[in-house]
Amino acid sequence: MTSQPPPTHPGAEAAPTCYRHPERETYVRCQRCERSICPDCMRDAAVGHQCVECVQEGNRSVRHARAMFGGAAVTKPRVTWTLLIINVLAYLAELTRADEIINTFATSSVYVFYGEWWRLLTGAFLHAPPPSFWHILFNMWALYAIGPELERRLGSLRFAALYLLSALGGSIAVYLFGLWAYGASGAIYGMFGALFVVSRKLGFDARGVLWLIGINIVLTFVVPGISWQGHLGGLVTGTAVAAAFVYAPRKSRNAVQLAAVVAVLAVMAVILLTLPPYGAIAIQ
């Protein structure tokens, strides 16, 4: 027994249906593959509409914008603004409990030697307490002026790594050669060094950056109460990290940059685990 389709009137044709939803009639076709698509399957294209699969395939073939030295392109310097906010919030906390906060979180070679390693990083977010304002004002101005440019060149993740490693480098120098320090100056000097490296790599005139670094180094040794250890430690670390980021071969850029970060952290760990700090020696 067989069944035959019902007869159709001459000239009658079946209405087209969506390729994903056969129960829905539609007269719109994908501009790329020409399959019929219903409103739920339409995606706006430069001309007309495309289906879901064609849009996904097109996205896979699009090269996403990249920062000059790796990482996703930066439209808004979110890391810079985040660091600014953290520093300002820490300073506001000092308005009410300055002595307690500084005594607990400032970088101290002796306390770090006896296991309070967090001070190496937390000390980089503290500044001279009120009524002194010049310390945080200068550092935050430098971060605001230089941070966005470096973040756009390096990418947000690499800029964050540069900033934090420079801060740690300054704290490690304080640990080795000093007694007590706090402030973002180590990270800021690391940014100065990075700006010089990036300027040289791009063929810009770097003499202005050299003058900036030179003047600040002179002030470091002329103005009393400034930690030259933190400044120079951050400068050396930031310059080295930036050089690894900027001069990494394009074909193996990510691997080289990651290896540089790991190597710097490893050196810092070796220093902390093997070398006694000046502060611990001085009090013995």
pLDDT band at 152 (very low <50, low <70, confident <90, very high): very high
Q: Is the pLDDT of residue 34 over 70?
A: yes
Task: Answer whether residue 110 shows pLDDT above 70.
Answer: yes
**142 is a domain residue:** yes
CA distance 200 to 194: 10
What is the reported pLDDT for 11?
Answer: 47
In terms of pLDDT, which residue wins out, 40 or 141? 141
Given a cut of 60, whether residue 9 has pLDDT beyond it is no
Q: Are 70 and 154 in contact (CB under 8 A)?
A: yes
pLDDT at site 45: 77
Q: Which two tokens stand for residue 217?
A: 């180094």
Contacting residues for 118 by C-beta, under 8 A, at least 6 apart: 105
pLDDT at 280 over 60: no
Q: Which are the contacts of 277, defined by CB distance < 8 A and separation ≥ 6? A: 109, 110, 112, 113, 175, 176
CATH number at residue 134: 1.20.1540.10
Per-residue pLDDT, averaged over 13-36, amounts to 84
Query: Helices 228-246 & 253-274, crossing angle to 10 degrees?
Result: 150
- Tell me: the pLDDT tens digits for 158-197? 999 999 999 999 999 999 998 889 999 999 999 999 999 9
Q: Which residue range(s) make up the domain with 241?
A: 78-282
The whole-chain average pLDDT of the chain stands at 87
Asked if the structure places residue 88 within a domain, the reply is yes
For the question of whether the overall pTM of this predicted structure is more than 0.95, the answer is no
How do beta strands 180-181 and 107-108 pair? Answer: antiparallel
* Residue 144 belongs to a domain: yes
pLDDT for 3 equals: 47
What is the rounded CA–CA span in Å between residue 35 and residue 51? 8
Cα separation of 174 and 180, whole Å? 7
Position 271 scores a pLDDT of 93
- Tell me: pLDDT of 104 over 70: yes
Provide the domain count of the chain: 1
Task: Write the pLDDT tens digit of every residue in 50-84.
Answer: 888 888 777 665 555 677 888 888 889 999 999 99
Residue 60 lies in a domain: no
Please say if the pLDDT value at position 279 is more than 80: no
Return the higher-pLDDT residue of 3 and 122: 122
**Residue 137 falls within a domain, yes or no?**
yes
Note whether residue 159 is domain-resident. Answer: yes
Mean pLDDT across the stretch 201-212? 89
Asked whether residue 31 is assigned to any structural domain, the reply reads no
Residue 241: band (very low, low, confident or very high) from pLDDT cuts 50, 70, 90 = very high
pLDDT of residue 125: 96
